Chain A
Amino acid sequence: GQNIDQPTEMTATEGAIVQINCTYQTSGFNGLFWYQQHAGEAPTFLSYNVLDGLEEKGRFSSFLSRSKGYSYLLLKELQMKDSASYLCAVGDNYGQNFVFGPGTRLSVLP
């Protein structure tokens, strides 16, 4: 089966750090992606992990543990514009099929 879990909602304060977790169970694995989606807009790519460990890209970092079926997205120095949904997606079946999680809606408060 295919299952991806994320918290439904999170709230954080401007300037703070927030960690959004994602757990997955898929029949295959060809990498894990994080996307950002503002309300009413299309998802935009944030990060890709295929090996265990941390990938850092500016204020955003993403971590993967394949043995645990677990990833997180770390957002530092939060800004109001970071208020959005964050989607975890797993490339399944040799990358031919992408499974998205339900998304985590992050609200950044002043």
Chain B
Amino acid sequence: DTGVSQDPRHKITKRGQNVTFRCDPISEHNRLYWYRQTLGQGPEFLTYFQNEAQLEKSRLLSDRFSAERPKGSFSTLEIQRTEQGDSAMYLCASSLAAGEDEQYFGPGTRLTVT
């Protein structure tokens, strides 16, 4: 296992379209996180899974955003009716278990909404 992978690495879409991103965590990690990062800012927490259960979701997260982790392995993040303000790097991270475990980040998916 070479780490957390994300697909696609880049996505350009027109405003109003739906997009879906995939994250494959490190295989033995049961925690999976999604973050959004814009230029010059730190990652902003979006949501987190413990196995297949979505346990936390940012209050800042619009209803247009939804995430799943159906079998407790890979996860998908969908953005419906994209807006220009959704343009950002979307990072996925995984960790083994509890909060003291370091998170391993994937390379990210850069979304550009035109």
Chain A contact residues, CB within 8 Å of chain B: 4, 30-31, 33, 41-45, 48, 50, 87, 89, 91, 93-103
Q: Is B33's beta carbon under 8 Å from chain A?
A: yes
Inter-chain contacts of B104 with A (CB < 8 A): 45
| A42 near B102: Cβ-Cβ < 8 Å | no
* Interface size of B as a range: 20 to 34
In the complex, A110→B108 CA distance in Å? 31
A residues within 8 A CB of B33?
A: 98
Would A45 and B106 count as touching, CB distance under 8 A? no
In the assembled complex, B28 has its CB within 8 A of some CB on chain A: no
Q: Which single member of B40, B48, B105 contacts A43 (CB below 8 Å)? A: B105
List residues of B (13-45) whose CB comes within 8 Å of A's CBs: 33, 35, 40-45
Taking A44-B105, A95-B98 as known contacts, 16 extra A-B pairs with beta carbons closer than 8 A to each other, sorted by chain A number, are A30-B100, A31-B99, A33-B103, A42-B91, A42-B105, A42-B107, A87-B42, A96-B48, A96-B56, A97-B45, A100-B35, A100-B44, A100-B45, A101-B42, A102-B41, A102-B42
Residue of B nearest to A33 (CB): B102
Also in contact, A98 and B91, with CB within 8 A (given A89-B42, A103-B41, A103-B42): no
